[in-house]
């Protein structure tokens, strides 16, 4: 299975359950893998036949930047649903990291995989 990926996409977001978190924007880091058959774009060498990772990145940045979730689990689920619905991929693997959330850890977060039926 071919995959298109976006690695270490950093987005500042309003995220968290504590009062102090609701007053600041915090950096989140996304690693996204999307199942996509790359044979057609490889044959045509045409951008319109690809899964445009720049368009996916821009849309995720736009969505997350405007969002306000309490839990990273909810945000990850929502972003995975958005990618599946708007970009026609069959499967997405999404890692959402919240750097500095736990003292002594580089980051914490969730890793999910979702597929279209």
| pLDDT tens digits, one per residue of 49-64 | 999 999 999 999 999 9
pLDDT value for 4: 97
pLDDT value for 25: 93
Q: Mapping DSSP to helix (H, G, I), strand (E, B) and coil, where does residue 95 land?
A: strand
Q: Which of 117, 73, 115, 63 is nearest to 95 (CA)?
A: 73
How many CA atoms lie within 13 Å of 60's alpha carbon, on the beta-carbon side? 29
Which residues are the active-site residues? 98
Q: Mapping DSSP to helix (H, G, I), strand (E, B) and coil, where does residue 78 land?
A: helix
Could you tell me the CA-to-CA distances from 113 to 14, 39, 60, 95, 100 in Å, in that order?
Answer: 23, 23, 16, 9, 24
Q: Of 3.30.930.10, 3.30.420.40, 3.30.1130.10, 1.10.260.30, which CATH number belongs to 3-115?
A: 3.30.1130.10
pLDDT value for 44: 96
Residues of the chain with pLDDT below 70 are none
């Amino acid at each position: 299975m071919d995959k298109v990926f976006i690695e270490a996409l950093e987005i500042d977001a309003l995220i968290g359950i504590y009062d102090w978190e609701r007053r600041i924007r915090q950096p989140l880091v996304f690693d996204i893998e999307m199942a996509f058959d790359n044979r057609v774009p490889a044959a045509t060498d045409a951008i319109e036949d690809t899964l445009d990772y720049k368009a996916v990145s821009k849309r995720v940045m736009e969505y997350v930047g405007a969002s306000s979730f309490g839990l990273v689990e909810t945000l990850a689920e929502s972003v995975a649903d958005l990618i599946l619905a708007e970009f026609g991929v069959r499967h997405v693997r999404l890692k959402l990291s919240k750097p500095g959330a736990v003292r002594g850890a580089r980051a914490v977060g969730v890793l999910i995989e979702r597929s279209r039926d």
